[in-house]
Amino acid sequence: MGPRLQAVLGDITAELVDAIVNAANSRLAGGGGVDGAIHRAAGTAELHAACAELGRCPPGEAKATPGFRLRARWIIHTVGPVWSGGNRDEAAVLASCYRRSLAVADELGARSVAFPAISTGVYGYPPDQAAEVAVGTVGRADTEVQLVRLVAFDQATFDRYRDLGADPA
């Protein structure tokens, strides 16, 4: 049985958890959306330097940095798939993002993790399908993480997480 799942509507940078997950680009260089918000909230210069030391991160993988100015102790950076119609293993890569992020959380000793809706912004993954992958993958995860908060930026995504079985926070 996986960790307890909560659906949250809000700003992932304000979450009080051990680690937050960043929907990063493969260069870990910061960008728009969640990635840009996390870089700004954590401290752009510090986080950029820490990410530069990690090098690139391929889709489906995850790497960690300190949380710097965030309430979370760590940031786990993962690179989701770019949606190409669903015929290029996008679901498998997205599921890997969740599994690998939880594996990194285990290595860090994190017991609570907040995830954004990975790949649903500029990467174009359909939000309903992405929510199914997130809830299904995390719900079946073999992890020491006890609490996963799925942080939705909009009401529709929050409702979808809740409909799929995540408890409202």
Residues tagged active-site:
35
Q: What is the chain's Cα-based Rg?
A: 14
Look-up: residue for tokens 């599994």?
99
Long-range pairs for 82-86: beta carbons < 8 A, 24 or more residues apart: 82/119, 82/123, 82/124, 83/119, 83/123, 83/124, 83/125, 83/126, 86/129
Between CA 43 and CA 62 the distance in angstroms is: 20
Q: Is 47 helix (H, G, I), strand (E, B) or coil?
A: helix
Between CA 32 and CA 137 the distance in angstroms is: 26
